[in-house]
Chain A
Amino acid sequence: DAGVTQSPTHLIKTRGQHVTLRCSPISGHKSVSWYQQVLGQGPQFIFQYYEKEERGRGNFPDRFSARQFPNYSSELNVNALLLGDSALYLCASSSRTGANYGYTFGSGTRLTVV
């Protein structure tokens, strides 16, 4: 059974460009969340989607946007990239059924902005 898959694994972009990161959750998981992890820090919450609706948004500028598709996969978009956007972007899925709240993280997309 496949885990959470993210693509691409690595990406180098220039300041001012746009980037789209993709995530496929574990089969049967309807909740997808995005986190940014800067080197040496804990993951920071960006977005949570459940059943294609945004259920939460972290303290990130409007340059960050996301969406969830009918098959529960998700995209994270970042416009007008800044050097400070360089980080590991993690996608996590959960079933959110009953009392199961735990996330399973993907391996992440390492974004470098130059």
Chain B
Amino acid sequence: GENVEQHPSTLSVQEGDSAVIKCTYSDSASNYFPWYKQELGKRPQLIIDIRSNVGEKKDQRIAVTLNKTAKHFSLHITETQPEDSAVYFCAASNYGQNFVFGPGTRLSVLP
């Protein structure tokens, strides 16, 4: 079955700097890759997603890149703000079937 790895497990950046979180997946049949943000005690919220027919997608300060050949995808957050502090999860799935989530990255944006 699918296996998703995520690095780093924790990440601290200064406010205004960029943050990059990387994930790898094992199943070449996976074709949908969402990213979720989970603040303490709250639900995971979808922040951006990408499908396998696209190499990059951007939404304001957030971007995701996908390398199908290498089976890895990354989340890029530019101009980080304190409210970006949260745990971020990547996931992989095949046409929206059961998502396999990575273990999460705890991002801390320091003022």
Interface residues in chain A, defined as those with a beta carbon under 8 Å from any beta carbon in chain B = 31, 33, 35, 40-45, 48, 55-56, 58, 90, 94, 96, 99, 101-108
Closest to A99 in B: B51
In the assembled complex, how far is the CB of residue B98 from the closest CB belonging to chain A, in whole angstroms?
A: 4
Instruction: Please determine whether B43 and A101 come into contact, CB atoms closer than 8 angstroms.
Output: no
Instruction: Please determine whether A101 and B95 come into contact, CB atoms closer than 8 angstroms.
Output: yes
In the assembled complex, how far is the CB of residue A21 from the closest CB belonging to chain B, in whole angstroms?
A: 15
A-B contact count (CB 8 A): 55
- Residues facing A in B76-111 (CB within 8 A) are 89, 91, 93, 95-104
Instruction: Please determine whether B43 and A42 come into contact, CB atoms closer than 8 angstroms.
Output: no
Closest to A58 in B: B98
Interfacial chain A residues near B96, Cβ < 8 Å = 31, 94, 96, 101-102
Q: With A41-B103, A41-B104, A43-B89 as given contacts, are A105 and B98 in contact (CB-CB < 8 Å)?
A: no
Instruction: Please determine whether A105 and B32 come into contact, CB atoms closer than 8 angstroms.
Output: no
A48 contacts which of B36, B42, B45, B97 (Cβ < 8 Å)? B97
Task: Give the complex CA separation of A101 and B53 in angstroms.
Answer: 14
Interfacial chain A residues near B91, Cβ < 8 Å = 42
Interfacial chain A residues near B103, Cβ < 8 Å = 41-42
Instruction: Please determine whether A101 and B44 come into contact, CB atoms closer than 8 angstroms.
Output: no
Instruction: Please determine whether B104 and A42 come into contact, CB atoms closer than 8 angstroms.
Output: yes
Instruction: Please determine whether B89 and A33 come into contact, CB atoms closer than 8 angstroms.
Output: no
Quick one: CB contact mask for B24-50 with A, threshold 8 Å, 1 for yes?
000000001010100000111110010
In the assembled complex, how far is the CB of residue B42 from the closest CB belonging to chain A, in whole angstroms?
A: 7
A-B contact pairs, 21 of them (CB 8 A): A31-B96, A33-B98, A35-B99, A41-B103, A41-B104, A42-B6, A42-B89, A42-B101, A42-B103, A43-B44, A43-B99, A45-B99, A45-B100, A55-B97, A90-B44, A101-B34, A101-B49, A102-B49, A103-B99, A105-B36, A105-B43
Interfacial chain A residues near B102, Cβ < 8 Å = 42
Instruction: Please determine whether B46 and A102 come into contact, CB atoms closer than 8 angstroms.
Output: yes
